[in-house]
Structure 1
Amino acid sequence: MSFIDFIRKMYNFNPDAKYFGLHAITTPVLLLRDPELIRSVLVQNFATFPDRFGFDLNEPLLANNLFSLRGQKWRDVRDLLSFSFTSSKMKMMFTLMSECAVDFANFLSTSISAEKSDMDMKDAFAKYAIDIIATCAFGIKIDSMKNPTNKFFVYGKEVTNFIRTHPIKIIVLKIFPKLGRILNLKLIDSHASDFFRNIIKTTIATRDAEHITRPDMIQLMMDIRGKEDRRELDIDDMTAQAFAFFFGGFETTSTTIAFVAHEIAVNPDVQTRLRQEIDKVLEESNEEVTYETINRLEYLDAVIKETLRFYAPSILERVCDEAYELPPALPGEKPFIMKKGMICWIPVFAIHHDAKYYDDPEKFRPERFLDNKMYHNSACYMPFGLGPRMCIGNRFGILGIKILLFHLLARCELKPCAKTTLPLRFSKKSLLMTAENGFWLNIQRRSDMRSVLASASINSIFSENKC
């Protein structure tokens, strides 16, 4: 079975237990089931569970990015990068993302034909994800739909695909980290890591020489240079943090959009309501697609939130940093002392599909998130984690998804096709959540598409804010 289904099976092993133990090959793991206990671990007692297990690597790109860092260095970099994701920074990056989304939607809506209207949407959405990461994190404008062989896209897929291409290396590095270091095992080829490092180095040198300023992540890291009480980042640090966008955003963003598109296609009532909402907002805003416009789409927001519930990550992982007493797993049992170094898993997907917390959890129902604040900051809804170590880029990811779906649904209609798998099944070949036979859909250009969207003048709405 898939890893997702396996974890769910373990979660349902004893519905009355707050937690229980299992082994991940040779590593003992505690699987936590109780929301109060989960909140205690992720939030109230974060100092005791501050880190992920991660990898012990000789690779700066992976070892030095925010996902892998630990202790004080993680805190320093997290504090620095948090400024990248404020509302003001999101408004600045909105323009960059929108240009990518318009390019993507225009290309798709004008290039499809009756013979070529069925496609695996995951590959298409991967190109969009690469484009927004390239422009917002690395300061490079690319169009991977028109130029799918560009080095950024090719190397981007390569460096984020190591979970699929190097499963044996991953097992060795997770279970026998010292052996991995002795053998100098690497997950990313040097030519790919050198490519991204050279991009950062060249971009910084060019901006310094020509006094160029751009609303992206590199600029933020450059701007702290010379400021008091701020730790400067060297080229390797900057490259690692920019790469964190790839590591944390490329696969998750493209896969989430693919799952949203699948649910929109197989639920015509959802698609109809979304199109009506988008068309109404376009009319009311005189076709000016702004940051505020996108954030007024309440039903689109609910559809994305429901997708993140329905297709949540399999687990969150934390390492115990000091002895910690768990309450009894079952009534009448004794407390359990977690020792330093022990690992706990939080089964997010299984919790999101537990009828104890969600009515009719196996039904895709976006309405559950309309005017409902009960899931906010809840241990029963954790698509981006919870507590100080929750995903720092969650607002960036959601904004990128909203912008693309807005422009895509304004121009195109999504339908199931002969290759669409119903019901959708999870792949047994990957630890990551993905569809077993791909995300095949039929794409049709909307016959009622608004004329302004059909014209090239759409780009003029961004002209005042081009960089």
Structure 2
Amino acid sequence: MILYIWLCVPLVALWLYLRKTYAYFKDRGVNHLPPVPVLGNMARPVFRKEHAIHNLCRLYSAFPEDRFVGIYEFVNKLTVIRDPELLRAIGVKDFDCFSDHRLFTSKEDRLFAKSLFGLTGQKWRDMRSTLSPAFTGSKLRGMVPLIQDCSKNLVRQLNEEMKESKSGYLDLDSKDLFSRYANDVIATCAFGLQVNSVAEKNNTFHAMGTKMTKFEFVQLAKMFIMIIFPFINKFVEISMFSKNAIDYFSKIVLRTIKDREENNIHRPDLIQILLEAKKGTLTHENVKDEKDAGFATVEESNIGKGIVKRAWDDDHLAAQAILFFFGGFETVSTTMVFLIYELAVNPDVQSKLRQEIDKCYKENQGKIDYDTINQIKYLDMVLSESLRKWPPLPAIDRICQKRYNLGKPHNKATKDYYLETGSIVFIPIWPIHYDPRYYSEPTRFNPERFSDDNKHNIKPFTYMPFGIGPRNCIGSRFAITEVKAMVFELLRNFEVTPSPKTRVPAELDPSNFTMRLLGGNYIRMKPRNSSVL
């Protein structure tokens, strides 16, 4: 009997806890889908029945008239914002109430805790101001030749492999190909290294990058633990990332900074920016008529334009370079994968874009720089639509830092809903990009949405591929320029078509928590007719 009682007590306690937890939104008049005990609304993604993105879309579409809805992420209570005006308030107007992200790692984690993503409060503001000069058009102009070297090297390697191929074409895993291209760009622009992972398949830099960014069972298990038991941060140091990989990249950064200091070496890359930040000589340039890299480019807020006198230690400097690698390796390569997929399955768009690229190349006599790449309007339209249809960040979050009134969730609500301090706000970028109220035929790839005649019709805060407000992606200009340089060289030299393995229409793989296509990311590349080169 005593044993029976001891077994029942924790079960009853758990049942009472879950009952109270899952009554949260109902008690406050916020619509939500029925939760499953412990798993909340995450059962279908956890059991690989549905991709997490589609799970979020199902919730978003279930209550089309609501300004916001609730979702249970296991036992966490997330408020999902659907109303663009609320997004404006949270992302910009009342940014001070929502300035921080939540972390899934220990506060002592060297990668995120000291990086721009993980820093909070004044330290984040100071680091944002420190780094923002690195991503202006004037700085990127110096980096474009480094990016172009990588894109031309990619073309050379593909040409060599095609010559060796008996078929005269290549069926490729585009994720592997573009991960290697992104790896080489980051190596040269952020770490000051010359790496050719496109040709050298087993080079250490790429292997360590893959090790750090690949989410396997162990990483996912750690993430779920941190989501379900966030308080564990106070007792145990948990990092989802390989310590060996982090140490490897940190040593490269610090060794390069030291070498440049001792030998007075200057190179237009992120290491140089970090070196200037360490010395306190980094300043914001007063550049008039700064041209954006394209429609998707985010605007730097006044926070990023502030003057900073703070001295940063080596760990802080290394963390920024590592975060730059993490963001560029995964999100940029993912953007490339889906853009090239859309060009392969939309040959009319590919043909029109190639004509624009050929025209630009001829008019500039082959001398392509930052400004000429970003003046190709149709290239920007195609990339903007690809980012709309396949945003590399499907959703982002913010932590509410003081009690905040969101108002009534819908017309039938009888009382306002208040976010408590520490509440999590979820911004569903992907579902908003597919909302037919904002984009007609949202599943159709239509670059004309972003033409000069149409782009003014896009409602503010319904297009967010790089986030919103002062905490948006600092590297949007760099990412856009990197992708455009790659597309420019590829289409000037090759035709892209679906391979026999390409799945049309595309569908996300529910067995993967990242953005991977069901059946693989395969495409076919073949040389263009030599007469048009």
What is the TM-score of this pair, normalised by structure 2?
Answer: 0.82
Please say if 1:20 is aligned against 2:100: no
- Greater mean alpha carbon deviation, residues 287-296 or residues 92-101: 287-296
Give the 4+ runs in structure 1 shifted more than 6 A: none
Distance in 2 of aligned mates of 1:70 and 1:306: 32
Q: Is structure 2 residue 335 aligned with structure 1 residue 335?
A: no
Q: Distance in 2 between matches of 1:449 and 1:94?
A: 28
Whether the 8 Å contact between 1:200 and 1:235 is mirrored in structure 2 is no
1:155-194 aligned at under 5 Å gives the runs 155-162=208-215, 166-180=219-233, 182-194=235-247
SS in 1 for 2:77: strand
Q: How does 1:10-159 map to 2 (within 5 A)?
A: 10-57=59-106, 58-112=108-162, 113-115=165-167, 117-159=170-212
> CA 1:423 to 1:305, structure 2 compared with 1: closer, same or farther past 3 Å?
same
Structure number with greater Rg is 2
Write out aligned runs for 1:202-221 (5 A): 202-221=255-274
Structure 1 counterpart of 2:466, one-letter code: F
* Structure 2, gaps ≥5 residues long: 1-49, 282-307
Q: What's the CA shift for 1:89?
A: 0.6
Q: Is contact 1:425–1:435 with CA below 8 Å preserved after alignment?
A: yes
Shift of 1:165: 5.2
Q: Report the alpha carbon displacement of residue 21 of structure 1 after superposing the two structures with TM.
A: 1.3
Q: Is the 8 A contact 2:105 2:239 kept in 1?
A: no
Q: Letter of the 1:8 partner, please give it.
A: C
Q: Which moved more, 1:55-64 or 1:95-104?
A: 55-64
1:265 equivalent in structure 2: 344
Report if aligned partners of 1:104, 1:145 keep a CA contact under 8 Å in 2: yes
Helix, strand or coil for the counterpart of 1:80? helix
Question: How has the CA–CA distance of structure 1 residues 282 and 376 changed in structure 2, closer, same or farther, with 3 Å as cutoff?
Answer: same
Q: CA RMSD in A?
A: 1.7
| Structure 2 counterpart SS, 1:444 | strand
The equivalent position to 1:386 in structure 2, one of 468, 478, 498, is 468
Task: Give TM-score, length-normalised by structure 1.
Answer: 0.93
Q: Which moved more, 1:369-378 or 1:430-439?
A: 369-378
**Which AA in structure 2 matches 1:296?**
Q
Of residues 106-115 and 204-213 in structure 1, the stretch that sits farther from structure 2 once superposed is 106-115
Q: What corresponds to 2:456 in structure 1?
A: 374
Is 1:348 paired with 2:419?
no
Distance 1:42 1:315 in 2: 13
Paired residues of 2:77 and 2:424 also in contact (CA < 8 A): yes
Q: What's the CA shift for 1:234?
A: 2.0
Q: Distance in 2 between matches of 1:167 and 1:447?
A: 46
For 2:266 and 2:329, how far apart are their aligned partners in 1? 25
Q: CA deviation at 1:114?
A: 4.3
Once the two structures are TM-superposed, the CA of residue 46 in structure 1 deviates from its matched residue by 0.5
Larger RCO (CA within 8 A; separation ≥ 6): 1
Gaps of 5+ in 1: 452-467
- Cα deviation 1:370-426 (Å, max 9, x = unaligned): 114436782110011110001110111000000000001101110111100111111
Give distance in 2, aligned partners of 1:296 and 1:226: 36
Q: Is the 8 A contact 1:55 1:63 kept in 2?
A: no
1:168-202 CA distance string (max 9 Å, x none): 00111222233255343322222212211110121
Distance 1:78 1:163, change over 3 A: farther
- The Cα shift of 1:223 comes to 1.4
- How many percent of aligned residue pairs carry the same amino acid? 38
Aligned residues: 451
